[in-house]
């Protein structure tokens, strides 16, 4: 019965893993499309055929539905929805946050989720909006935590219960929530109440809130980003260590006549071409898509295809170790996503502790690449080099007389011995023509080398082109041409 999560591959803090709930297991990262039993634009059976093996639905809707309540209790959700994959249910928390009150207690919603045979149950947490003041956020969090304790007491350690991390916009409260939830032994941890941040394109704050929760949650916990549905932000969220997304976006955007892409959405009736390889876009023209009697369903299908394809691309990027490049691509699609990306880079030192040892490649994409985890790690590891008393760092790779060791120079990393030239990251890094940012960052590598080898004298030989930059970075160091 209990939930289990296993990480198989990783990149930055992102993981490709396996989530097991009862007898079902799914690959992560995964997208759980939101199903509303009353509005099935795309049926769960259609989703299964698209390769989707997990969905999420709202237990509160079933509990209030004249049409479905009894059937859900007698048949169970899987038979009722015609879906044999993983079905997660949300409680009425979202309704709670919109209507203020719902006629169902925490234990009642969890019992109901158990009785309709949901694979993952969510307690009645309190989603504190980012606008809430600190006192409210603390009060709400105390209630959520008490309900998690109550859930454990009532249903036991093996019940497949999710433990939402709340705390509003207060990062210390998110840290506290993550720590307590980890100590209680929960291994499935959604990060809650982030929908207003995503709807408002407040990605910088999103990064801070998610990174705060991730700092204290056990790394073995499967982390679900509640309500994240736009494919443009999946790579960013995955890089932070989010494993699951759930989304009504495919349907909500379709309802508004919007066509999703990984770099933003279009009004479908403004499109003259359909820039996508999915079945809908290859069998309809832009005009047909908009005038079809099935417009909403076709748009929803396209939106879902795009979303699922992005998840597959992210999984592949994790296997290859190219997630930073994908994050860089995606976050240039919107200025606020770029802010989120720049904020993520501010957390690179922490991300470095999760990052993997070797990757397929490192493509330099401008100054942002200088702050990547691989650069931080490389420069930190320079202390391990064993060096003689006189060391030459030569940009042109040529030894001069009077030195014990020759180190070559590869920006943005810095100095390296020839023996490392085939190993990651030196050997797999492609840089365009050198720019000032990468040379300056490489000089920080030289500085790290000097600081960690006080018994060695380091001399730098660089070309005339870079002499002023190198001198300005390396005050007090012997820099010659």
Closest distance to ligand GUN from the beta carbon of 112 (Å): 14
Pairing of strands 14-21, 3-11: antiparallel
Strands (E), 330-438: 362-363, 390-394, 405-410, 414-416, 429-430
Number of residue whose CB is nearest ligand GUN? 192
Of 281 and 426, CB closest to Zn ion: 281
Subset of residues 298 to 337 that bind Zn ion, contact rule: CB under 5 A: 302
Q: What are the phi and psi torsion angles at 244 (to 5°)?
A: -135, 145
309: buried, middle or exposed (CB in 10 Å: 19+, 13-18, 0-12)? middle
- Which range touches Zn ion (CB under 5 A), out of 93-101, 145-153, 272-280, 286-294? 272-280
The catalytically annotated residue of 11, 46, 84, 90 is 90
Minimal distance, residue 377 CB to Zn ion, in Å:
39
* CB 251 to ligand GUN: min, Å: 15
Stretch near Zn ion under the rule CB under 5 A, chosen from 2-10, 32-40, 281-289, 315-323: 281-289
**Candidate residues 126, 165, 198, 281; the one interacting with Zn ion per rule CB under 5 A:** 281
Closest CB to ligand GUN among residues 126, 458: 126
Q: Which does 232 bind (CB under 5 to 8 A by kind): ligand GUN, Zn ion, none?
A: none
Q: Which partner, Zn ion, ligand GUN, none, binds residue 10 by CB below 5 to 8 Å per kind?
A: none
Site residues (CB under 6 A) for ligand GUN? 90-91, 93-94, 122, 125, 127, 164, 192-193, 195, 226-227
Interacting partner of 278 out of Zn ion, ligand GUN, none (Cβ under 5 to 8 A depending on kind): Zn ion
The count of other CB atoms within 10 Å of the CB of residue 156 is 11
Cα-Cα-Cα-Cα dihedral sign, residues 243, 248, 254, 258? negative
| 11 tagged catalytic | no
Q: Is 61 helix (H, G, I), strand (E, B) or coil?
A: helix
Residue 405 touches which member of ligand GUN, Zn ion, none, C-beta under 5-8 Å by kind: none
The answer to whether residue 278 forms part of the interface with Zn ion (CB under 5 A) is yes
As measured in angstroms, the least distance from the Cβ of 298 to Zn ion is: 9
Q: Is 343 within 8 Å of 413 (Cβ atoms)?
A: no
H or E element at residue 3: strand 3-11
Chain Cα centroid distance, residue 111: 31
d(CA 232, CA 247): 13
164 touches, from ligand GUN, Zn ion, none (C-beta below 5 to 8 Å by class)? ligand GUN
195 vs 268, beta carbon nearer ligand GUN: 195
Buried b (16+ CB within 10 A) or exposed e, 214-239: bebbeeebbbbbbbbbbbbbbbbbbb
Task: Please give the Cα distance from 49 to 43 (Å, whole number).
Answer: 10
Residue closer to ligand GUN (CB basis): 122 or 351 = 122
User: Which of ligand GUN, Zn ion, none sits in contact with 302, Cβ below 5 to 8 A by type?
Assistant: Zn ion
281's contact among ligand GUN, Zn ion, none, with CB below 5 to 8 A by partner kind, is Zn ion
Dist. CA 441–CA 386, nearest whole Å: 22
Cβ nearer to ligand GUN, comparing 148 with 392: 148
Nearest CB to ligand GUN, comparing residues 57 and 322: 57
Q: Among residues 227 and 425, whose Cβ is nearest to ligand GUN?
A: 227
Closest CA to 190 of 129, 120, 252, 249: 120
State the nearest-atom distance from the C-beta of 236 to ligand GUN, in Å.
Answer: 18
Q: If binding is defined by CB under 5 A, does position 276 make contact with Zn ion?
A: yes
Residue 3 Cβ vs ligand GUN, minimum distance, rounded to whole Å? 16
Nearest distance in Å: CB 190, ligand GUN: 7
Q: Are 415 and 449 in contact (CB under 8 A)?
A: yes
Nearer to Zn ion, 211 or 281 (CB): 281
Least spacing, CB of residue 47 vs ligand GUN, in Å: 19
Coil, strand or helix at 356: coil
> Widest CA span of the chain, in angstroms?
89
H or E element in which residue 246 lies = strand 244-247
Q: Is residue 104 helix, strand or coil?
A: coil
Q: Choosing among Zn ion, ligand GUN, none, which partner's interface includes residue 340 (Cβ < 5 to 8 Å by kind)?
A: none
CB 347 within 8 A of CB 207: yes
How many residues sit in the footprint of Zn ion (CB under 5 A)? Answer: 5
Q: How many helices (H) and strands (E) does the chain have?
A: 21, 18
271 lies in the site for Zn ion, by CB under 5 A? no
Q: Which residues contact 373 (CB under 8 A, 6 or more apart)?
A: 12, 324, 348, 351, 352, 355
Site residues for Zn ion per CB under 5 A: 276, 278, 280-281, 302
Catalytic residues, which ones? Answer: 90
């Amino acid at each position: 019965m209990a939930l289990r999560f296993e990480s198989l591959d990783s990149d930055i803090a992102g993981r490709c893993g396996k989530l097991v709930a009862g007898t079902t297991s799914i690959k992560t990262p995964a997208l759980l499309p939101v199903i509303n039993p009353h509005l099935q634009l795309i049926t769960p059976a259609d989703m299964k055929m698209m390769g989707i093996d997990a969905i999420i639905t709202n237990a509160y809707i079933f509990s209030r539905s004249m049409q479905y309540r009894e059937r859900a209790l007698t048949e169970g959700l899987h038979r009722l929805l015609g879906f044999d994959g993983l079905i997660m249910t949300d409680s009425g928390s979202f309704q709670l946050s919109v209507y203020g009150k719902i006629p169902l207690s925490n234990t009642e919603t969890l019992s109901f989720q158990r009785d309709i045979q949901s694979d993952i149950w969510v307690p009645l947490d309190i989603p504190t909006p980012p606008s809430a003041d600190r006192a409210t956020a603390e009060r709400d969090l105390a209630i959520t935590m008490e309900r998690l304790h109550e859930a454990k007491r009532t249903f036991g350690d093996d019940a497949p219960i999710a433990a939402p991390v709340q705390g509003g916009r207060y990062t210390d409260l998110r840290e506290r929530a993550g720590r307590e939830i980890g100590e209680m032994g929960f291994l499935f941890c959604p990060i809650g109440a982030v929908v207003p941040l995503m709807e408002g394109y407040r990605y910088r704050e999103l990064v801070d809130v998610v990174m705060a929760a991730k700092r204290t949650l056990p790394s073995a916990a499967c982390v679900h980003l509640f309500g994240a549905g736009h494919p443009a932000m999946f790579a960013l969220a995955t890089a932070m260590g989010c494993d699951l997304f759930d989304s009504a976006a495919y349907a909500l955007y379709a309802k508004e006549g919007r066509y999703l892409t990984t770099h933003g959405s279009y009004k479908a009736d403004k499109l003259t071409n359909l820039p996508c390889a999915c079945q809908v876009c290859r069998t309809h023209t832009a005009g047909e898509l908009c005038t079809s009697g099935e417009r909403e369903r076709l748009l929803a299908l396209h939106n879902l295809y795009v979303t699922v394809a992005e998840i597959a691309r992210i999984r592949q990027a994790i296997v290859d170790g190219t997630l930073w490049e994908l994050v860089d691509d995606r976050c240039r699609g919107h200025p606020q996503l770029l802010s989120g990306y720049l904020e993520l880079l501010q957390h690179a030192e922490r991300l470095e502790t999760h990052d993997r040892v070797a990757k397929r490649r490192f493509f330099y994409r401008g100054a942002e690449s200088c702050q990547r985890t691989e650069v931080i790690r490389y420069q930190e590891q320079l202390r391990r080099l064993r060096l003689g008393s006189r060391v030459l760092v030569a940009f042109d790779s040529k030894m001069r007389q009077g030195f014990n060791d020759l180190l070559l120079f590869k920006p943005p990393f810095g100095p390296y011995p020839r023996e490392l030239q085939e190993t990651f990251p030196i050997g797999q890094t492609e840089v365009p023509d050198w720019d000032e940012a990468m040379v300056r960052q490489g000089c920080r590598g030289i500085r790290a080398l000097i600081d960690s080898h006080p018994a060695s004298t380091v001399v730098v030989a660089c070309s005339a082109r870079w002499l002023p930059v190198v001198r300005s970075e390396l005050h007090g160091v012997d820099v010659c041409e």
